[in-house]
Amino acid sequence: MVLDIALNREPFVVSASLLFDTIDNKNINGFISASTITDIFYIIAKGKDKSVARAFIQHIIEVLDVIAIDKQVVKNAILSDIIDFEDAVQIKAAEISDLDAIITRNKIDFTKSRIPIFTPIEFLEELK
């Protein structure tokens, strides 16, 4: 979803932008994991360049709070029955951080989450 904005991915950029406008206007708090930031930097730098990636990350961390990926998160992810390790890390980081929801376009990989999962459009509808 963050990459949808960074890479201007149609048609997903529209709903992602609406969600970020909601966060940016301080209507809700948004979070991103530290490991996701490094992934985003790598993908943007590879597709564009490092200066674009740095600028984008600087903006994102002004809008979103960063949650840690620490030993406990990794341990919980490894011990979970979630098949995809990266998704397990995201879910366990969200659980440890006591977040209310995970917003992703890839809901299928998050079915084992104890936290509600929404697409950006579903979440915006839920806020109404």
The whole-model pTM stands at: 0.88
Kindly report, residue by residue over 52-77, the tens digit of the pLDDT.
Answer: 999 999 999 999 999 999 999 999 99
Average pLDDT over all residues of the chain: 93
Q: Give the count of alpha carbons within 13 A of 34, CB side only.
A: 8
Structural domains counted in the chain:
1
Read off the CATH number of the domain in which 11 is found.
3.40.50.1010
| Pairwise CA distance, residues 28 & 25, whole Å | 8
| Pairwise CA distance, residues 100 & 107, whole Å | 15
Instruction: Print the domain residue range for 71.
Output: 2-127
